[in-house]
Amino acid sequence: MRILLIEDEQALARPLTEHLEADRNIVEWFATLDEADAALRTLAYDVVLLDLQLPDGDGLTFLSALRGRGLRTPVIILTARDKVSDRIDGLNRGADDYVIKPFDLDEVKARIHTVCRRSADQIAQTVQIRDLVVNMSDHTVTRAGQAVRLTAREWGVLEVLLRRKPQIVTKENLEAAIYAYGEEIESNAIEAHISRLRTKLGKDLIVTHRGLGYTLGT
């Protein structure tokens, strides 16, 4: 899982990062909203952990802006603001959960898993892109009405790109999603899966962003 942590308090951010990374997550930690915004515009994350009082702005305003531009990534607020009115405001602005500091590290980990499961359940069961129809529940794909057979890993790549659309998904994201931890992966494995998907689904369906990753076209 790829996690974006936005927190300027080092004494809190460092142990939280280490705790989550010990569970084989990738954690990217930024202390400012500007840095976090740049990361969110280029990479796909499974969840965002957001402090509300940052050096360069207010976390709630930032959250409203993210939701306003269509970002669907789950967001968990981490804050010392413990009034009921604050919690209601945060949830109304688009937060998926609200955790009050100080918190237990295992509780944050559990809440991350909960909101990510909830987010996965909310994606439409049938997705259509051009002449493709993808059924997320039974893992079937048709193109111009004709069934397309995908391998398990080809399906895995397509599913990740669909769930993260329109964000860029890195090669590392895709490897983590479709291969078991510790499994040996050939250096060009993801490129090979992408190539076969383009052959089966259309050469311009998957867009390569050199040095960054991949997105689905529109």
pLDDT at 123: 60
Count CB-CB contacts under 10 A for residue 102. 7
* Percent composition of the chain: helix, strand, coil (DSSP 3-state, to 5): 45, 25, 35
Chain segment 89-109, per-residue pLDDT in tens: 999 999 999 999 999 999 999
What's the pTM? Answer: 0.66
Rounded to 5 degrees, what angle do the CA atoms 204, 46, 12 make?
A: 145
What's the length of the chain?
218
Going from the C-alpha of 198 to that of each of 44, 150, 167, the distances in angstroms are 21, 11, 19
Domains of the chain (ranges, CATH numbers): 2-122 (3.40.50.2300), 126-216 (1.10.10.10)
pLDDT at 119: 72
pLDDT at 120: 65
Q: Which residues of the chain have pLDDT under 50?
A: none
pLDDT at 206: 95
Q: What are phi and psi of 6, to 5 degrees?
A: -115, 100
